[in-house]
Structure 1
């Protein structure tokens, strides 16, 4: 279960994901300088629309794709807040692929492989939908816009 993992907040403190137990989650690897960066707006809209029903977006900045997330935690937080008025949690920068991949993302990739069973995340803004039981139920490609996920989210709420 996803809620068995602990991740790092933007300030470096440990965040046990069991604090989100019983909620529907959308876990996304993000970047501030990517063609898909405007998806922050749609992610925030989903967060605001469904948070009172037990839904949470969790953002994980990643610099592995075209070095499109070069900033430190303070810069990333400032960008998200000032540019897109993000109120959902944005955690510490992580690797999502390779030997240094965050264990959470290893689990997400294992539970929801990509096209043709590929495990690797191909780009920024890959999205993973997690049900209330902490199980990954769907993986969405970076090009899938957040608003296209509304029906799937509603079905889990």
Structure 2
């Protein structure tokens, strides 16, 4: 085992596979569910600031915005533009399950067409910004909360 056992599996910074993230981005309902998760104390930012493409949680909206401008996020977006490689595709290359593979290709074409038709709505849901955590927990928007705070001796 030794010190190289960690390098062998590389599980410390492992993110969700591309095919799973691709499936998450396929419908408005799944994107909306991932962007509006319930409060969870075990996740950074109580699970409210989530990058769907990278499958990562962030502490606040500014850190999520900074991440979206970075190289790692842009590289992940580039990887997600292509259709993810699946075991079904490798079986089709070997000559097995060709009918099943052709059905998955048709399903992929329908999904891509759906994404193109609803691109504006999907982008609006993905790019929606959330308020700060204090406002999320109390339910009072931050613009109203700032005016109500008074300091007394």
TM-score by length of 1: 0.22
Larger Rg: 2
Structure with higher RCO (Cα < 8 A, 6+ apart): 1
Q: Which has the higher helix share?
A: 2
TM-score by length of 2: 0.22
Q: Which has the higher strand share?
A: 1
